[in-house]
Amino acid sequence: MTEQISQGSPLPSAMPSAAALEAVRAMMSSAPTQAPAPTEPVAQPTPTPMAAPIPPAATQAPTQLPPPAPETQLPPPVPATQLPPPIPTEVEPTPLAAAVAVSQAPPAPQAPAAPTPDPAAAPFVAPIEQISPAAPAPLYDEIVHEHEIQEIPWTGPYDSIRDYIKAMEATGNLVHVPEMDQDEYETTAFVYRSIERLGYWKAPALLVDRVKIDGQWVEGPLLANAYGPWAAEALCLGVPMDEINDNHEQMYRKTLDLIEKKMGFGGLPKVEPEVVDASVAPVKEIILTGDDIDLTKFAFIQTNPADAGRYMTTGSVMMIDPELGKNTGTYRCQIKGPRQIGVNPEPNQDGWRMIMAARKRGEKSLKCSIVMGADPLVFTASSTKLGGPFGGDEIALAGGLRGKAVQVVKSEHSDIMVPANAEMIIEGEIPLDQMLPEGPFAELYGYLGRAKEENFFMNVTAVTHRPKPIIVNAYTGIARAYCTAPVEAGFRAQFRRSVPGFLNMHLLLQALGVYIVQINKTSPGQGISAGLAASSASGLAKVVIVVDKDVNIYRLDDVMASLGSRWQPVPGTVLIPQSQGVPLDPSAPKRGLTSRVIIDATRQLAIEGGPESLSPVSRELLEELAPNAFPNIDAKWDTYFTNDNEA
Ligand SMILES: Cc1cc2nc3c(=O)[nH]c(=O)nc-3n(C[C@H](O)[C@H](O)[C@H](O)COP(=O)(O)O)c2cc1C
């Protein structure tokens, strides 16, 4: 279980992306290489000059909503459904309860330490690159139809999802096919299968030129599993190109280090957006208003046959509130008609608060703009609480992550400033006195969520987009939807200050609710203390497994081996009978509540109830007593897998 950080390891565990792609292509061998002529012509929305907003026609009859309730009657606060905010703190380590046996009533977890910025610590400010206004924005045709692998691909941060797709394709992390039949749920099955066969971190992104929806071929492209492979994180966050290789684990470690450096001691820096004119904004190339808008003509798909219908799963919903400021949050939007969509911020999300605040002010509707196909880090900022709850403008945070400003342009019908390089903006108004049913939808943990009787919706007044806008679909509960490294880097920065001996942590997205925490254990009780600290910092941390410094936390086999060989359930376990949980957890007996467990899988010292002496680790003995064994085998590794050998 030696912690290995191999340098571009040729071992099978570091299967080259090209090989991964070959495997996928083999899976796809039945797919045609040339797009057959569409069976029916696809109607494209007609570009029109900008026109005044027209009153939108509601497709579903909304129910009238009772007048806004006073705040005390609003639903009780529940934690966000999403990854919790990284909270950089300068506070002293929280004193933690000692381990208790499972039979005893355990202490309630301590509340996470409040963020206390250290005024003395100057925030790290990443250098801002100069943006050449003259640089042309590459169009879809130029970039996506280049099939050759580029000799010198480039690394991020990217200004658009097109640049990112190009880099993913060039580095062998993207499969491009002409078409898939979504009436048969082929893209969904592909994402499941590629993860099953290639592994969670190596399954490539998938770009499909056109998809069959309701019997019609709809021009995409559709992008699936956009941020699945770990290499995607390294590209998006800008690990230098000469350090990009096929070792996904190594890439992820490098990405985390890079972000932590950007965060410095003061947390993630913010870089204010740069306003550009609509004439140079790619997202304004086509402007649709009134009856020219028909959202059903775009490649928004139904992901699971049990979903309520077609969804925009990756819409970054932007709003402005006179007191709360600006907000961008990813909330799923059900396509309800050509000019009507659902908008689904869960209670207590920032977007939900803004809608409630507008209702309380007695307003009849709230304008918002929804971004589809933002650049990878704008989407990441929109999908996480990088700045903490009400952590401020996500676009400025994305600028901080990128190390350069996001270019923004004014919406057609409001003052909301939207990313100029996005694929599409959907503008409209959310009525504040009416609601519509929504769902069910196959949710985060991989289970069908419940249908909602009432939910917000938006009447669409304008759609602006690039030619052939790329529609990114999130395969919720199946694949990773955004770059998670910024979230983990935030936790690392926080735990470094609050968890004694902390080395690293990892939250398993393939087993949502399970956190691995690695410590350098030097004193008794430290494992349980670390576990309690991690558990109390996150609503998602239902199971926390604490492991020793020699365990590779990115390899589940190693973590499981620790459970088998190092953990004694008594006394190495703390049960917390009830605490705040994630409302979407299908195991929760009561929505929003969860029990928790801390598993101390570090080697137990005698004073903790462990054995009198610790048995030597066999692999360490091999490395120490036969130092040439691994180097010899590594040097000859490729020769064992030549065709000659196989014959
Ligand atoms: C693909 C995707 C879909 C999401 N859908 C929803 C949703 O429908 N409702 C919701 O409240 N949060 C959803 N989230 C989580 C939020 O985007 C996340 O909690 C974010 O921090 C919310 O922004 P806010 O803090 O500004 O409210 C989704 C996240 C992703 C990545």
Q: Does residue 482 line the site of ligand 1, with CB under 6 A?
A: yes
CATH numbers and ranges of domains, the chain: 71-263 (no CATH), 274-473 (2.30.110.10), 499-615 (3.40.1670.10), 616-647 (no CATH)
CA of 366 to the centre of ligand 1 (A): 19
Atom of ligand 1 lying closest to residue 82 CA: 19
Interatomic CA distance for residues 110 and 186, integer angstroms: 46
Q: What is the pLDDT of residue 63?
A: 56
Entry pTM: 0.80
Q: Does residue 474 line the site of ligand 1, with CB under 6 A?
A: yes
Q: Does residue 346 line the site of ligand 1, with CB under 6 A?
A: yes
Q: What is the pLDDT of residue 268?
A: 84
CA of 458 to the centre of ligand 1 (A): 17
Residue 579, Cβ density class (10 Å: 0-12 exposed, 13-18 middle, ≥19 buried):
middle
Q: What is the pLDDT of residue 246?
A: 80
Q: Which of 349, 355, 380, 512 to mutate to test the pocket of ligand 1 (most atoms within 8 A of CB)?
A: 349
Digit-coded pLDDT (tens) for 153-186: 578 999 999 999 999 998 899 999 999 999 999 9
Q: Which residues contact 368 (CB under 8 A, 6 or more apart)?
A: 317, 318, 319, 343, 414, 416, 427, 428, 429, 430, 458
For the record, the structure tokens of 227 come out as: 């941020």
Q: Which residues contact 132 (CB under 8 A, 6 or more apart)?
A: none
Q: What is the pLDDT of residue 529?
A: 95
Q: Does residue 334 line the site of ligand 1, with CB under 6 A?
A: no
Q: What is the DSSP letter of 19?
A: H
Which protein residue's CA is at the shortest distance from atom 5 of ligand 1?
331
Three-state SS at 358: helix
Are 445 and 512 in contact by the 8 Å Cβ rule? The answer is yes
CA of 448 to the centre of ligand 1 (A): 17
Q: Which of 81, 82, 475 to mutate to test the pocket of ligand 1 (most atoms within 8 A of CB)?
A: 82
Q: Does residue 380 line the site of ligand 1, with CB under 6 A?
A: no
How many C-beta atoms lie closer than 10 Å to residue 96's C-beta? 21
Q: Which of 191, 330, 476, 540 to mutate to test the pocket of ligand 1 (most atoms within 8 A of CB)?
A: 330
Q: In what order do the strands lie in the sheet with 417-419?
A: 274-275, 407-410, 417-419
Q: Does residue 326 line the site of ligand 1, with CB under 6 A?
A: no
Considering Cα of 163, then 167, then 169, then 170, what sign does the dihedral take?
Answer: positive
Q: Does residue 330 line the site of ligand 1, with CB under 6 A?
A: yes
Q: Does residue 456 line the site of ligand 1, with CB under 6 A?
A: no
Q: What is the pLDDT of residue 631?
A: 97
Which protein residue's CA is at the shortest distance from atom 26 of ligand 1?
329
| HSE value, Cβ hemisphere, 13 Å, CA-based, for 638 | 4
Q: What is the distance in angstroms between the CA of the first residue and the CA of the last residue of the chain? A: 33
| Beta-bridge partners for 207 | 176, 223
Atom of ligand 1 lying closest to residue 314 CA: 1
Q: Which helix (H) or strand (E) holds 460?
A: strand 452-465
Q: What is the pLDDT of residue 138?
A: 34
Q: Which of 81, 319, 370, 372 to mutate to test the pocket of ligand 1 (most atoms within 8 A of CB)?
A: 81
Considering Cα of 463, then 464, then 468, then 471, what sign does the dihedral take?
Answer: negative
Interatomic CA distance for residues 533 and 539, integer angstroms: 12
Q: Does residue 314 line the site of ligand 1, with CB under 6 A?
A: yes
Which protein residue's CA is at the shortest distance from atom 21 of ligand 1?
384
Preceding peptide of 221 cis, ω within 30°: yes
CA of 554 to the centre of ligand 1 (A): 26
Residue among 531, 524, 519, 487 at smallest CA distance from 110:
531
Interatomic CA distance for residues 344 and 329, integer angstroms: 10
Which protein residue's CA is at the shortest distance from atom 4 of ligand 1?
331
Considering Cα of 303, then 307, then 311, then 316, what sign does the dihedral take?
Answer: negative
Interatomic CA distance for residues 519 and 526, integer angstroms: 8
For the record, the structure tokens of 246 come out as: 């096929």
Distances (CA, A) of 121 to 71, 84, 397, 449: 38, 24, 19, 44
For the record, the structure tokens of 1 come out as: 């279980």
Digit-coded pLDDT (tens) for 182-238: 999 999 999 999 999 998 888 999 999 999 999 999 999 999 999 998 889 999 999
CA of 50 to the centre of ligand 1 (A): 31
Atom of ligand 1 lying closest to residue 385 CA: 21
Atom of ligand 1 lying closest to residue 383 CA: 17
Q: How many helices (H) and strands (E) does the chain have?
A: 15, 23
How many C-beta atoms lie closer than 10 Å to residue 58's C-beta? 16
Q: Does residue 331 line the site of ligand 1, with CB under 6 A?
A: yes
Q: Does residue 303 line the site of ligand 1, with CB under 6 A?
A: no
Q: Does residue 350 line the site of ligand 1, with CB under 6 A?
A: yes
CA of 227 to the centre of ligand 1 (A): 16
For the record, the structure tokens of 200 come out as: 């969670």
Q: Does residue 83 line the site of ligand 1, with CB under 6 A?
A: no
Instruction: Give the mean pLDDT of the chain.
Output: 81
- Residue position matching structure tokens 């869960």: 346
Residue among 158, 180, 159 at smallest CA distance from 171:
158
| HSE value, Cβ hemisphere, 13 Å, CA-based, for 101 | 5
Are 468 and 140 in contact by the 8 Å Cβ rule? The answer is yes
pLDDT < 70: residue spans in the chain: 1-153, 388-391, 643-647
Are 381 and 328 in contact by the 8 Å Cβ rule? The answer is yes
Q: Does residue 562 line the site of ligand 1, with CB under 6 A?
A: no
Atom of ligand 1 lying closest to residue 351 CA: 27
For the record, the structure tokens of 515 come out as: 């956190």
Interatomic CA distance for residues 40 and 218, integer angstroms: 10
CA of 55 to the centre of ligand 1 (A): 28
